Amino acid sequence: MLNRWSAEDAPDRSDPVAQLVYASRLLGADTGLVLHGGGNTSVKTTVTDLTGEPVEVLHVKGSGSDLATMDASGFTALRLARLRALLRLERLADTSMMNELRCARLDATAPDPSVESLLHALLPHPAVLHSHADALLTLTNQPEGRRLVEEVYGDSVVVVPYVMPGFDLARVCAELFPAQAHPGTVGMVLLNHGLFTFGADAEEAYHRHIELVGRAEERLARRTTPSRAAGSGPVDRVRLARLRAEISEVAGAPMVLSRYDDPTVRAFLGRADLAAVATRGPVTPDHVLRTKRVPLVGTDVAGYAEEYRRYVAEHQGRARAPLTVLDPAPRVVLDPDLGLLTAGRRATDARMAQDIYRHTIDVISAAEAIGGYQALPAGDIFDVEYWELEQAKLRRGGALPEFAGEVAVVTGAASGIGRACAEALQARGACVVALDRDPSVAEGDGVARLGLQVDVTDAAAVDAALDTAVERFGGVDIVVAAAGIFPASQEIAGLDLQAWHRTMAVNAESVAYLFSRTHPLLALAPRGGRVVVVASRNAVAPGPGAVSYSASKAAVTQVARVAALEWASDGIRVNVVHPDAVFDTGLWTPEVLAARAAHYGLTVEQYKRRNLLGTEITSARVADLTAALCGETFAATTGAQIPVDGGNERVI
Ligand SMILES: [Zn+2]
């Protein structure tokens, strides 16, 4: 375990909160310590309040923030005296505890404090750091977990048996810690959960943290994991999309399904005892919220859902209030052929499950090598999955955006209408696969956006892009064909055949090809596939001097109409928009604009608003219409051609 502390970068200890921010970020920077909001940190100080009174406070991580990106605003200052009073209570429901913690804030607008705040409060040291370190979980998720911890740490740590986080855990620690701690105590191990270290300041607590995790790592390194790698070949994208459709169906909503593959994953999937070791439970209970208790091993989604319902039925008597039952779909799929797949309602959910499961693989593999991986009993995991605080979050949680869990492929997405369509769909919750021959299409990529440099007339490149898209997101729900070119003005008498071919290839043939390749994916879209072709006013009202463009847009309109006929029975809607005079696009260089204006004997400004409404038509306007066509408003519309041209006498 790398000690990342830098005396040069670290803030001075005279500013304990700044030093804590620094230490928190160092913990967060190491995915072997904490992942996605896991872990928490605190420091105790004395401040002077408005009345001039000194107040002892606990600055503790607020819930919902991530240690890796922590800043001072992510901490909440709580009155320590009040926390200590709460610790004297025999019992307290966790929702009541959260209410008390909120009321103990110095600043009512500070974030909700960590659910482990009381645990931080009871430790007598000023600075406290808590992680869910992989190495420690490997050591404690064993039948002999406690013995191993004692072997590695001697009596330098207090060992606490597993108790669910919340008031009950704080209460148990409040009893065990003072009874076991002595001047040489530098940490506290919560079996099957994680590690606490503490010190006079965040620097001391951090050094102790890294030192203790390092000792666990040394103990693990004495054994090596034998591995036999599973085969890795190209994965059939339709098979992946079918699995995603099945998962979405049992989830009751479209799900993103993301594939991950590397030698470690392949070695794990190649284990003869995969089904046995992978279904014992998560490495620390709060992972259940991202990964569910167990992964689906294989591809029997219906069987998994049935098993999940049985698990809920078996344990729901443990809950103190009626439950909002979660969907029974898996979040992690382990299949020796398909690889490690993770599912979520949003791309970020699938990514978090993926990150967590990659660490789970490390922990299980290492734990098996030193004895045997053993997780907590299912009932304990159920308690966290259906914790009253999590249930309250579910009831509060707002609706997800319109296209959450759906995947849109947009061509011509580096500029103009294509780019605006990609942005509009992503803003409405879709994952976007943005294709363009311009490499700038990859700029601004994130978890929910994948930009790929592709010439849409290159069939092999389009196929490869679809493979990548489905590996990343699990399928294709929406296709927006916006890539297009506008060749130089030219009358038929002087036809340049090469320009004609190129225009037809980009504007029409590439769309027909894209359709042929995306059809099986669209047919598997959980809410039905949707396609929008960005054609042109020229398709219905052609322009002199634009024969290639007008003919190509008429051709692609016809492709869409035939697709609407052929695909209606597959639940796929295909519609066409006919924009006109959209000048914020890649097609309209100032030279082309000037040439077209001159052709009509108009100034550029007159030419821009040359429509009945006298309005300017922007890419964003076209994108709004395109997104709407993919939405519920147009659920009963297919084969339509909608102008977005400000009104045109020749079209009307
Ligand atoms: Zn924890």
Q: What is the pLDDT of residues 123-163, one digit of tens each?
A: 999 999 999 999 999 999 999 899 999 999 999 999 999 99
Q: What angle do CA 236, 239, 242 make, to 5 degrees?
A: 150
Q: Round the average pLDDT of the chain to a whole number and report it.
A: 94
Per-residue confidence (pLDDT) for residue 380, from 0 to 100: 94
**Does residue 586 register a pLDDT over 80?**
no
Q: How far is the CA of 105 from the centre of ligand 1 (A)?
A: 21
How far is it, in rounded angstroms, from Cα 510 to Cα 559?
A: 11
Angstrom distance (rounded) from CA 38 to CA 376:
18
Crossing angle of helices 547-567 and 510-522, rounded to 10°:
20
Closest Cα to residue 583, out of 476, 650, 486?
Answer: 486
pLDDT score recorded for residue 163: 94
Query: How many angstroms separate the alpha carbon of residue 193 from the centre of ligand 1?
Result: 6
Residue 212 DSSP code: H
pLDDT at 326 over 80: yes
The pLDDT of residue 202 is: 96
Which residue in 510, 512, 507 sits closest to 587, CA to CA? 507
In sequence order, what are the beta bridge partners of 276? none
Q: Say how many Å lie between the CA of residue 535 and the centre of ligand 1.
A: 54
Q: Greater confidence, 1 or 232? A: 1
Backbone angles phi, psi at 96, to 5 degrees: -70, -40
User: How high is the pLDDT of residue 646?
Assistant: 96
Beta-sheet pairing, 40-48 with 127-131: antiparallel
**Do the bridges between strand 530-534 and strand 431-436 make them parallel or antiparallel, or are there none, so unpaired?**
unpaired
pLDDT bracket for residue 229 (50, 70, 90)? low
Of the candidates 341, 256, 262, the one whose C-alpha atom is nearest the C-alpha of residue 297 is 341
Residues 231-245, mean pLDDT to the nearest whole number: 87
Task: Note the pLDDT tens digit of each residue in 446-469.
Answer: 999 999 999 999 999 999 999 999
Rounded average pLDDT over 78-98: 95
Q: Give the active site residues.
A: 549
What would the pLDDT profile of 363-419 be if each residue is shown by its tens digit?
999 999 988 999 999 999 999 999 988 888 878 877 899 999 999 999 999 999 999
SS3 154: coil
**Spatial CA neighbour of 72 closest among 43, 47, 95:** 43
Does 227 have pLDDT greater than 60?
Answer: no
Structure tokens at 545: 């001097």
CA torsion angle for 446, 449, 451, 452 (degrees, to 10)?
120
Cβ-in-10-Å burial (0-12, 13-18, 19+) of 336 comes to middle
Rounded to the nearest whole angstrom, what is the distance from the C-alpha of residue 130 to the centroid of ligand 1? 7
- Name the β-bridge partners of 197: 129, 187
Instruction: HSE, CB side, 13 Å, CA atoms: give it for residue 443.
Output: 8
pLDDT interval class at 223 (50, 70, 90): low
7-16, 36-45, 163-172, 583-592: least confidently modelled range: 583-592
Share of the chain above pLDDT 90, in %: 85
Q: How close is the Cα of 114 to the center of ligand 1, in Å?
A: 10
Of 334 and 390, which is predicted with more confidence? 334
Encode pLDDT of 482-541 as tens digits: 999 988 888 999 999 999 999 999 999 999 999 999 999 999 999 999 999 999 999 999
> Does 276 score more than 70 pLDDT?
yes
Please report the DSSP string for 41-102 in residue order: EEEEEEEE-TTS-EEEEEEEEBTT--GGG--GGGEEEEEHHHHHHHTT-S---HHHHHHHHH
What's the rounded mean pLDDT across residues 591-609? 88
pLDDT of res. 224: 52
Ligand 1 centre from 107 Cα, in Å? Answer: 25
Residue 348: the pLDDT is 95
Residue 83's nearest CA partner among 107, 113, 47 is 113
Centre of ligand 1 from the C-alpha of residue 99, in Å: 20
Query: Residue 243 and residue 475: Cα distance in Å, rounded?
Result: 9
**How far does the centroid of ligand 1 lie from the alpha carbon of residue 115, in Å?**
9
* Contact status, residue 387 vs residue 378, Cβ threshold 8 Å: no
Alpha helices in 80-201 (DSSP H): 80-86, 94-103, 117-122, 134-140, 145-153, 167-180
Tell how far the Cα of 325 is from the centroid of ligand 1, in angstroms.
24
620-624 own/partner pairs: CB under 8 Å, 24+ apart: 620/420, 620/424, 621/582, 622/417, 622/420, 622/421, 622/534, 622/577, 622/579, 622/582, 623/417, 623/420, 623/421, 623/423, 623/424, 624/424
- Using DSSP's 3-state secondary structure scheme, residue 650 falls into coil
